[in-house]
Amino acid sequence: MTQATARPDLAARPLAAAGPAARPGALVLADGRVFRGLGFGAATTVVGEVVFNTSMTGYQEIVTDPSYTGQLVCLTVSEVGNVGVNPDDEESRAHGCAGLVVRSLSPVVSNWRAQEDLGSYLARKGLPGLAEVDTRALTRHLRDRGAVMAALSSEHDDVEELLALARSAPSMEGQDLTGRVTTATPYAWDQPSWDRAAPPADVHVVAWDYGIKLSILRRLRDAGARVTVVPASTPASAVLAMRPDGILLSNGPGDPAAATAVIAELRSLLAAQGLPPVFGVCLGHQLLALALGGRTFKMKFGHHGGNHPVRNEDDKKVAITSQNHGFAVDPASLGAGAALTHLNLFDRTCAGLRVRGRPIGSVQYHPEAGPGPNDATDLLAGFVAQVRRLRRERAE
């Protein structure tokens, strides 16, 4: 019997088409641990920091999240690739993780939105994948030992060569990667989420692009903002000269403390009087904290997944959130001018902050939920509502 699907040709594809070609590959950690597997996607060799992501869904969003630049992502979910990929779920067209590690690559692609299988998609993007890996053992190792540099090859399994590569890779600490992923020129964003009709846009938000996820832009548009995205190197004075109704500080890759030029611009932004609302997401949150004089630190293995409970310290409500970060803000370093607004209940790290007496706040997690639970999506809509309210009040 044929399955009803928009793409019957993709409904059930044999392993040979969608699954790993029988190409031996390996992931070799700088500490000497070796994980053998089968290469798929592009046949290539890369280095990066290995992290594990516990999301049950959303591998395409994970692969294309620019915050994973320089990282090899191990998915703990056991079956990957079953819903294929499509053009609407990309978080970035050009950036994302350096390589993907999975347990089982699905031999079947079956979803009405699917237009391609994961292996072909990764090959087209030049990204290596490694399947048939004992991802549970790898995850337990990372949990015990912490994030580690590694070499991943989907084209060979020469362990000595990969070990030497892994050992020569620079650690994520100290790396400013914002310049690698930011837009070269400003652009206007006017697209809502794929399943929404956008309301009229009545406010203008300028988003500083440190490696922005497209679903942040889509959610802002869903809430009625038109957005101008500007390069990470844009001076604060140029952003303010655009007379934005709101300013968004985006997510992005690398060590926040290393992004010194960006932090200097945020410091000068904060020195301006009568700022419109400012909202930071993930790297944007960390950079805001640094500009406020705070400190960030490297976490043992970070937070990457869609199951992180976060408590709002105002109303004590708990949201299950999507997270992806390897650094965090030390809340004790923030000083009296800022308050901790959200707490990660897994390890009591800082999940959000607010500047007292000013319309400035940020969260360490991902309210755009691309992928992840929707508990926190009201944060971006709330930001746009605040932008609208302040614009009205200031016009009166």
Ligand X SMILES: NC(=O)CC[C@H](N)C(=O)O
Tell me the catalytic residues. Answer: 282, 366, 368
Q: Using DSSP bridges, classify how beta strands 34-41 and 24-29 pair: parallel, antiparallel or unpaired.
A: antiparallel
Which 74-113 residues touch ligand X, going by CB under 6 A? none
Using CB under 6 A as the binding rule, whether residue 324 contacts ligand X is answered as yes
How many CB atoms are located within 10 Å of the residue 122 CB?
24
Type of residue at 66: P
CA-based R_g, the chain, Å: 21
When asked if residue 280 is in the footprint of ligand X (CB under 6 A), the reply is no
326 binds ligand X (CB under 6 A): yes
Q: Please identify, among the stretches 53-61, 118-126, 181-189, 319-327, the one whose residues bind ligand X according to the rule CB under 6 A.
A: 319-327
Q: Does 283 bind ligand X (CB under 6 A)?
A: yes
Q: Is 349 in the site for ligand X (CB under 6 A)?
A: no
Strands 148-153 vs 24-29: parallel, antiparallel or unpaired: antiparallel
Please report whether residue 352 would count as binding ligand X according to CB under 6 A.
no
* Nearest-approach distance from CB 71 to ligand X, in angstroms: 8
Stretch of 160-168, 230-238, 250-258, 344-352 lying at the interface with ligand X (CB under 6 A): 250-258
* 3-state SS record for 265-300: HHHHHHCCCCCCCEEEECHHHHHHHHHCCCEEEEEE
- Please say which residue, 84 or 253, places its beta carbon nearer to ligand X: 253
Angstrom distance (rounded) from CA 281 to CA 353? 11
* CA atoms of 91 and 325, how far apart (whole Å): 16
The answer to the question of residue 254 lying near ligand X (CB under 6 A) is yes
Q: Is 115 annotated as a binding residue?
A: no
Q: Which of 35, 40, 208, 327 binds ligand X (CB under 6 A)?
A: 327
67 annotated to bind ligand: yes
- 3 marked ligand binding residue: no
CB of 287 to ligand X, least distance (A): 9
Examine residue 52 and tell whether it contacts ligand X (CB under 6 A).
no
252 is a site residue for ligand X (CB under 6 A): yes
Sign of CA dihedral 80, 84, 87, 93: positive
326 is in an annotated binding site: yes
Beta bridge partners of 27: 35, 152
- The verdict on 325 binding ligand X (CB under 6 A) reads yes
Nearest CA-CA partner of 151 in 165, 137, 141, 134: 165
253 binds ligand X per the rule CB under 6 A: yes
Q: Which is nearer to ligand X, 224 or 372 (CB)?
A: 372
Residue 121 backbone phi and psi in degrees, to 5: -65, -45
254 is in an annotated binding site: yes
CB of 388 to ligand X, least distance (A): 26
Please report, in range form, the residues annotated as the binding site for L-glutamine: 67, 252, 254, 283, 286, 324, 326-327
Q: Which residues bind ligand X (CB under 6 A)?
A: 67, 251-254, 256, 282-283, 324-327
Please report, in range form, the residues annotated as the binding site: 67, 252, 254, 283, 286, 324, 326-327
